[in-house]
Amino acid sequence: MASEIRSEMENDIERVLLTEEQLRQRVKELGAQISADYVGRDPVLISVLRGSFVFMADLARQIQPYCRVDFMAVSSYGSGTSSSGQVNIQKDLTEPIEGKDIIVVEDILDSGNTLYYLMQVLQARNPASIRLATLLDKPERRAKPIKSDYVGFTVPDEFVVGYGLDYNERYRNLPYIGVLKPRVYEK
């Protein structure tokens, strides 16, 4: 039964863009890089829900120094395929970040509308430092001047899902990143 459900979901995937092994390896490298950069600093990893929950869980476990985690939820996409520039904070952080070293953890930097806004909101709270880690980067789509400090993979402008990324809240549980068949979102 479980495999039938999985194959129905996988049938919506045109091709695998990043395999589980590629993701594991790259997240390990990013973790090593962040660990080296933050020795003795106790950074706060801020996961921007919901898309980043899988990346956050894997990345946090590859970071060696002490670190803390906190969570924010914002929305920008609705059910379409591109962000509107209208960003809503649906859930704020639990702890203040003033004087802390912050690493914002996101699944994808696309138009940049969401993170451009969010980084300004967080910067205004006077953290000691603020950096951005994004698993995926789609520079072709950028509408705002923003760059990620730690990028997992630069990807083409295709509709990608899995490993936390959704379409209409589905596919977040795919263990790899795949390109969605256009028939799914053209319906």
Task: List residues with catalytic annotation.
Answer: 110
Total number of residues that touch ligand PRP (CB under 6 A):
18
Question: Dihedral (C-alpha) 102, 157, 90, 133: value to the nearest 10 degrees?
Answer: -10
Helix, strand and coil percent figures for the chain, each rounded to 5? 30, 30, 40
Q: Which of 31, 43, 112, 162 binds ligand PRP (CB under 6 A)?
A: 112
Least distance (Å) from ligand PRP to the CB of residue 108? Answer: 5
Going by C-alpha positions, the residue among 38, 31, 29, 58 that lies closest to residue 102 is: 38
- Secondary structure letter of residue 85 according to DSSP: S
Q: Taking CB under 6 A as the rule, does residue 58 contact ligand PRP?
A: no
Q: Which of residues 122-181 bind ligand PRP (CB under 6 A)?
A: 166
Least distance (Å) from ligand PRP to the CB of residue 141? Answer: 7
Give me the residues that bind ligand PRP (CB under 6 A), please.
48, 50-51, 75-77, 83, 106-115, 166
